[in-house]
Structure 1
Amino acid sequence: MARLVVASPEDATSRADGRRYEIRLLAELSARRHEATYLPLPQSFPIPSAEAVRTTLDRLRSVPSGTMLVVEGAAFCGLPADRLAALGRPVSALLRYPASLEPGLPPDAVAFLEASQRAAFGVAEVVIATSAATRSLLIERFGVPKEKLRVAEPGVDPSPRARGGGGDVPVILTVGAVLPRKNQLALARALGRLTDIGWRWRIVGPLEADVAYASALRDAVAEEGIADRVEFAGQLNQAGLAEAYDRADLFALPSYLEGYGMAYAEALARGLPVVAGAGEAAAALVSGAAGELVPPDDPATIAAALRNLLSEPDARARAARSARSVGTRLPRWFQCADVFEHLMEQAAARG
């Protein structure tokens, strides 16, 4: 039996992409009779307090030798590299994207994280990226050696085709924490240009991650005169989220940055056309005629992509068929677990 510990500052009750990845990964490995567990860390990362650093290092030291120890990217990038090296044991990182690239960070925070994560990558045994796009970024921008990198993409479960909103007015679904990186604000500005056609917009995701940004989004919805068409559903449980996908007609989220794009994958699996921000990770998912890739800073172009799908049922149906076809070919969770299982067995062999 091989052993894995994933140490992460994610709230155990969170349904954010990172936490959902960890839950499914650990469940897959546990089903294979491996010992795969979660180690909670303080939540002040990626820019931790001195107390958070001490607590984190103490918890990492408690992990038995022979166990593969993986630290989630935000925490790994915020820990001092010399202190990580002083643990005297292999430590790996699980990275969706480098923490310094999070939009909206002040310049001093970016500078701290740029230096901290470069040093931390240098002492990592392995850096596990959640997409080929993140792997390329780590090589090209941060100089991480290719031999140190692995890719373990999230899986997507086979899902029934979405039934849609069930009426003449299409339902647009957005899923993700309300944050600058997710860019819901640009989507609100785009939809403000489409008041001459019918649609409803359902926003699923926690509003507490960035209270100021969530407030700005509510203000924009009011300013655009679309408040009566918009529902802030908040964070939903798994059953509620599945229903939200099922009762949607298309998916829109013009993110600035995605480490993979789990919400895009889940939408495609249900046959929902996707309007996504034109990043490398999104482009790998939203292929062919499954939707539209749009510049995140251009509400006019976002609006044009939405108008085509909202006002032309035939165009939406063609995109839905293509999305469903793409969704059937996406990775499954067992493939993600395979990557970790191989690394775990190597760690167990070292003892």
Structure 2
Amino acid sequence: MTDVHVVVPEEIDDPTRPSGGNTYDRRVLDELAALGWAVHEHPVAGAWPRPDAAAHAGLATVVAGVPSGGVLLVDGLVASCADGVLAPEASRLRVVVVVHLALGSADPEAAPGERRVLGAARAVVTTSGWTRGLLLDLYGLDPAAVHVVAPGVDEAPVSPGTTSGGELLCVAAVTPAKGHLDLVSALALVGDLPWRCVVAGALTIDPRHVLEVRDRLASAGLADRVRLVGPLTGPALEQAYAAADLLVLPSLAETYGMVVTEALARGVPVFATAVGGVPEALGETADGPPGILVPPGDPESLAAALRSWLGDEGLRERLRDRALQRRRRLTGWGRTAEGLLRVLGDVMGEGPGG
């Protein structure tokens, strides 16, 4: 049996709302199909992870249509808030949940339902060791059932960089959790130095927060140096990385941080917050990390790191050399698909019972 039914959010391919979770799902499903698997994709409508009754009913219809004993791979954005639909089906189906973000870690009210559905699943896939550890601590899951399958990254040409190092790039949806207000505060503290910053990320998820970021930029006199360009994909995103000297990711929470490896795949160093799975994504080289990690919510520390970067050519050269070293050790999406296949193979080898 090489059939897998997959439940994903309806907007998985929406170019106006790119996300790491959507990219992970799409790339892995495409790889499975290329390997000869029959991938039955079921996009489900709804404001996941806050679905209404209609969204739950739509999901229930999809799940009921999966043959008994079939493998059902569910994106955690859907699964973690649909225990009433999925948990009762766990004895009939081989349910595997891919957790990009543990909802219960940020919303205690979501924890009981998430615990129920993850506990009922045959296997849980996480994108980082940090997330795996968080789920084990939160819910007491069977460690043998929780697997790390890290995101891959595409090969890319090395970004040429500039002599000044002043071309900064932040790739993240403009929402409170991504720390853009901290980024603005940090940039204001190095406003005396030459730099420009492109912020590439969705502007429609939280319009009120976007307005707050724009107001803060105007108040700091940075509106002409920081460009909020909206979400970038395809060639436009490639151009943004090609023009960048440094990726800056000031997130307050991050389960992995795929943009970190996307930057490193181009030899671009990374300054980011030491949250979640970001240290795993950044990685190490024989000479040290290919970037600098700072505490979350600490714009002064980020500003100090940026001041060092902009004022020290030797530091820029060292970090760029490390980024190039790290680039050579990154793995592609084929490796990610292989990891998921091992999990699916184990689940398929189990008996039909729960």
The residue number in structure 2 matching 1:317 is 317
1:32 and 1:57 map into 2 onto residues whose CA distance is 29
2:58 and 2:271 map into 1 onto residues whose CA distance is 42
Q: Residue 2 of structure 1 contacts residue 344 of structure 1 at CA under 8 Å; is this kept in 2?
A: no
Work out which of the residue numbers 122, 129, 132 in structure 2 matches 1:132.
129
2:80 aligns to what SS in structure 1? helix
- The alpha-carbon deviation at position 155 of structure 1 amounts to 0.3
1:1-351 correspondence runs (5 A) = 2-11=2-11, 12-14=13-15, 15-81=18-84, 83-87=85-89, 88-102=92-106, 110-164=107-161, 166=162, 168=164, 170-286=166-282, 287=284, 288-346=288-346, 348=348
Amino acid in the other structure paired with 1:202: V
Q: Residue 178 of structure 1 contacts residue 210 of structure 1 at CA under 8 Å; is this kept in 2?
A: yes
How many residue pairs were aligned? 342
- The alpha-carbon deviation at position 6 of structure 1 amounts to 2.4
Q: Residue 130 of structure 1 contacts residue 260 of structure 1 at CA under 8 Å; is this kept in 2?
A: yes
- The alpha-carbon deviation at position 139 of structure 1 amounts to 1.0
Q: Residue 202 of structure 2 contacts residue 230 of structure 2 at CA under 8 Å; is this kept in 1?
A: yes
TM-score by length of 1: 0.92
2:320 aligns to what SS in structure 1? helix
Q: Residue 128 of structure 2 contacts residue 280 of structure 2 at CA under 8 Å; is this kept in 1?
A: no
Q: Residue 165 of structure 2 contacts residue 316 of structure 2 at CA under 8 Å; is this kept in 1?
A: no
Q: Deviations over 1:212-245 (max 9, x none)?
A: 2211111111111111101111112211111111
Amino acid in the other structure paired with 1:230: V
1:345 and 1:16 map into 2 onto residues whose CA distance is 27
1:138 and 1:34 map into 2 onto residues whose CA distance is 29
TM-score by length of 2: 0.91
- The alpha-carbon deviation at position 167 of structure 1 amounts to 6.7
1:318 and 1:219 map into 2 onto residues whose CA distance is 36
Q: Which moved more, 1:271-280 or 1:247-256?
A: 271-280
Q: Which moved more, 1:247-256 or 1:35-44?
A: 35-44
Amino acid in the other structure paired with 1:98: A
1:252 and 1:225 map into 2 onto residues whose CA distance is 20
- The share of aligned pairs that are identical, in percent, is 33
Runs of 5+ consecutive residues of structure 1 not aligned to the other structure: 103-109
1:100 and 1:215 map into 2 onto residues whose CA distance is 28
- The alpha-carbon deviation at position 149 of structure 1 amounts to 0.6
Q: Residue 2 of structure 1 contacts residue 67 of structure 1 at CA under 8 Å; is this kept in 2?
A: no
Q: Residue 271 of structure 1 contacts residue 327 of structure 1 at CA under 8 Å; is this kept in 2?
A: yes
1:198 aligns to what SS in structure 2? coil
- The alpha-carbon deviation at position 180 of structure 1 amounts to 1.5
Amino acid in the other structure paired with 1:154: P
Q: Deviations over 1:191-225 (max 9, x none)?
A: 01111100000001111111122111111111111
Q: Residue 250 of structure 1 contacts residue 274 of structure 1 at CA under 8 Å; is this kept in 2?
A: yes
2:245 and 2:10 map into 1 onto residues whose CA distance is 31
1:140 and 1:348 map into 2 onto residues whose CA distance is 27
